[in-house]
């Protein structure tokens, strides 16, 4: 049977991802279920979420967690198109809970414990769904297979036609929802549910890196895969502060005597703020106002290196190194040239990188606009973060 949802360039079919994370991880052990363990700078489930959140075709994500793990969700950074559902005692019940929470035409069902899934595995499943009603990645069995009993080989098993199943497993949403309604009992995965309901399932090429954390030794294997995967990110920042009364401005951590000061809740270091925002942008972790709300009195008059240090620490915690920073200050006055070297030195110190990777420059706006009229200073910055092989 062909997929019932045809591709339409005007109205492309929508795709949801269900990430099942409600298991207890008994074989992996530890104080919390395996998907809540931290490896390579963040929880297993956060790694998995990030992979699906950055996939351009996925418009809806449901993370299914156990009721007793609900508070752990607060430790996650959820993308805006994600929601939470509560799972059940069996994997199939967790999947059903996710299926009941989505609307999309197609659904990808994925184990949170497969936190190293390469994006091209997701692509292969989605491509297969253009013509199939169900598709899943798998690897052919390459080792010889035996049967055994009491430590003795009792026979050999033909390995031809045997595959090791992986996720994400992709389906036409309505078909797998119907299948779960009647055929889910005792199933290991959703392909089994689909086949029992009479669906054809296309096999696509899996990937050896798409391991499922199952035993304690798998944490180190997964961490190594995540740490050696190269991830290069670029973030940009933009900020403006208005001039007011005062006798100096703080710019990129340097105090410059001036006939006016910059207004702001903190020390109004517009250069440092924009670099901070560029780092949060590269990390996809919001912006400076979200981490340090202007409504919070504790940041009144605060030195802005507090904010930049926080962004740098977050980058390191997520396994990134800051590779390069370029900041442009836009103002007629004060003149930046004489203090640019001091600014680079201070910024390099906070960023923890060589000064040769730090650029601070300035431009006027030809007396045009608010910066040209001397009403304030604007700043923009770009940072590059690297995780993995190249760092
Ligand atoms: N009731 C369940 C059981 C499993 N899962 C999820 O299904 C995926 C694959 O299951 P498995 O590796 O078997 O996880 P656990 O059931 O947690 O492991 P164990 O059998 O060792 O307890 C995991 O991401 C797990 O969190 C789930 O959401 N709900
Ligand atoms: C869904 C699955 O990951 C496919 O390989 C697997 O069936 C679920 O986990 P389990 O180890 O079989 O319990």
Which value does ipTM take for this structure? 0.94
Assess whether 32 and 174 both reside in one domain: yes
pLDDT tens for residues 267-291? 999 999 999 999 999 999 999 999 9
Last residue of a domain, one of 166, 200, 227: 227
The CATH code of the domain that includes 255 is: 3.30.1330.50
Residue 56: what pLDDT? 83
Question: Given 173, 195, 227, which residue is the final one in a domain?
Answer: 227
Supply the pLDDT for residue 4.
Answer: 47
We report the CATH number of the domain holding residue 76 as: 3.90.550.10
Q: Which ligand is nearest to the CA of 33?
A: 1
Q: Check if 91 has its Cβ closer than 6 Å to any atom of ligand 1.
A: yes
| Ligand 1 geometric centre to CA of 76 (Å) | 19
Helix and strand numbers (H, E) in the chain are: 11, 19
CA-to-CA distance for 270 and 261, rounded, in angstroms?
Answer: 12
Q: What is the pLDDT of residue 37?
A: 97
Which residue has its alpha carbon closest to ligand 2 atom 9?
A: 188
Domain match, 167 and 57 both: yes
pLDDT in tens, 121-167: 999 999 999 999 999 999 999 999 999 999 999 999 999 999 999 99
The C-alpha R_g of the chain, in whole angstroms, comes to 26
Per-residue pLDDT, 5: 53
Do 221 and 237 fall into the same domain? no
Does residue 231 carry a pLDDT above 90? Answer: no
With a 6 A CB cut-off, is 68 part of the ligand 1 pocket?
no
What pLDDT sits at residue 360?
A: 98
For the chain, give the percent of residues with pLDDT over 70.
Answer: 96
Q: Which of 176, 144, 180, 173 is nearest to 160 (CA)?
A: 144
- Among 254, 267, 290, 251, smallest CA distance to 379 is for 251
Residues 187 and 56 in one domain: yes
- Same domain? For 354 and 376 the reply is yes
Closest listed ligand to the CA of 89: 1
Claim: this prediction has a pTM higher than 0.90: no
According to the model, what pLDDT value does residue 10 have? Answer: 65
CA distance 123 to 120: 5
DSSP codes, 39-76 = ETTEEHHHHHHHHHHT-TTEEEEEEEE-GGGGGGGGGS
Band (pLDDT 50/70/90 cuts) for residue 90 is very high
Q: Is 112 exposed, middle or buried (0-12, 13-18, 19+ CB in 10 A)?
A: buried
**CA-CA distance, 280 to 242, in Å (whole number)?**
23
Determine the Cα–Cα distance for residues 305 and 254; give it in Å rounded to an integer. 11
For residues 281 and 237, is the Cβ–Cβ distance under 8 A? yes
Q: Which of 212, 227, 242 is the last residue of a domain?
A: 227
Query: What's the pLDDT at 228?
Result: 79
165 lines ligand 2 (CB under 6 A): yes
What is the DSSP code (8-state) at residue 286? -
Residues 259 and 166 in one domain: no
Residue ID of nearest Cα to ligand 1 atom 18: 25
Domain match, 57 and 121 both:
yes
Average of per-residue pLDDT across 88-98: 97
CB–CB of 302/270 below 8 Å? no
Distance (angstroms) between ligand 1 centre and the Cα of 91 equals 6
Pick from 174-183, 202-211, 224-233, 338-347: least confident: 224-233
Q: Is 69 in the pocket of ligand 1 (CB under 6 A)?
A: no
More confident residue, 301 or 218: 218
Same domain, 69 and 18: yes
- State which residues form the domain around 191: 2-227
pLDDT value, residue 11: 76
Is residue 1 predicted with pLDDT exceeding 50? Answer: no
Does 212 sit in the ligand 1 pocket, CB within 6 Å? yes
Q: How far is the CA of 375 from the centre of ligand 2 (A)?
A: 62
pLDDT over 80 (residue 7): no
Q: In this structure, are 192 and 258 located in the same domain? A: no
Is there a single domain that holds both residue 155 and residue 221?
yes
Does residue 243 sit in helix, strand or coil? strand
pLDDT in tens, 38-86: 998 899 999 999 999 988 899 999 999 999 999 999 999 999 999 999 9
Band of pLDDT at residue 9, cut at 50, 70 and 90 = low
Question: How many angstroms does the Cα of residue 188 sit away from the middle of ligand 2?
Answer: 6
Residue 245 has pLDDT above 60, yes or no: yes
198 and 309 in a single domain? The answer is no
Percent share of the chain, pLDDT over 90: 87
- CB distance 98 to ligand 1 below 6 Å: no
Number of domains in the chain: 2
- Please check whether residues 235 and 171 belong to one and the same domain: no
Average pLDDT over all residues of the chain: 94
pLDDT-derived band at 294 (thresholds 50, 70, 90) equals confident
């Amino acid at each position: 049977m062909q997929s019932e949802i045809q591709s339409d360039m005007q109205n492309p079919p929508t795709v949801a991802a269900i990430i099942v994370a409600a298991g207890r991880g008994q074989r992996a052990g530890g104080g919390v279920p395996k998907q809540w363990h931290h490896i390579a700078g963040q929880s297993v489930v956060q790694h998995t979420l990030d992979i699906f959140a950055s996939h351009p075709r996925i418009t809806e994500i449901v993370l299914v967690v156990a009721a007793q793990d609900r508070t752990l969700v607060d430790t996650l950074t959820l993308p805006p198109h994600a929601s939470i559902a509560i799972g059940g005692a069996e994997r199939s019940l967790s999947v059903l809970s996710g299926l009941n929470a989505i609307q999309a035409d197609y659904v990808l069902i994925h184990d949170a414990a497969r936190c190293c899934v390469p994006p091209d595995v997701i692509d292969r499943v989605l491509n297969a769904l253009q013509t199939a009603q169900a598709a899943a990645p798998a690897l052919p069995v390459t080792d010889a297979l035996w049967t055994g009993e009491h430590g003795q080989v009792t026979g050999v098993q033909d390995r031809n036609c045997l595959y090791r199943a992986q996720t994400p497993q992709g389906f036409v949403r309505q078909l797998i929802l119907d299948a779960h309604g009647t055929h889910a009992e005792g199933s290991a995965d959703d392909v089994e549910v689909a086949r029992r309901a009479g669906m054809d399932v296309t096999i696509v090429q899996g990937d050896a890196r798409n391991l499922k954390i199952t035993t304690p030794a798998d944490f180190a294997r997964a961490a190594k895969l995540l740490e050696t995967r190269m991830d290069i990110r670029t973030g940009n920042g933009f900020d403006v502060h208005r001039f007011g009364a005062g006798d100096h401005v703080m710019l990129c951590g340097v105090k410059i005597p001036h006939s006016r000061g910059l207004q702001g809740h903190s020390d109004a270091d517009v250069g440092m703020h924009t670099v901070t925002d560029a780092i949060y942008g590269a990390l996809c972790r919001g912006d400076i106002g979200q981490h340090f709300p202007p409504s919070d009195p504790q940041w009144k008059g605060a030195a802005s290196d507090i904010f930049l240090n926080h962004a740098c620490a977050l980058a390191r915690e997520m396994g990134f190194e800051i590779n390069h920073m370029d900041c442009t200050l836009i103002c007629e006055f004060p003149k930046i040239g004489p203090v640019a070297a001091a600014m680079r030195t201070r910024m390099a110190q906070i960023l923890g990188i060589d000064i040769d990777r730090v650029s601070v420059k300035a431009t006027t706006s030809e007396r045009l606009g608010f910066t040209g009229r001397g009403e304030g200073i604007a700043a923009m910055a770009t940072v590059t973060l690297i995780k993995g092989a190249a760092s």
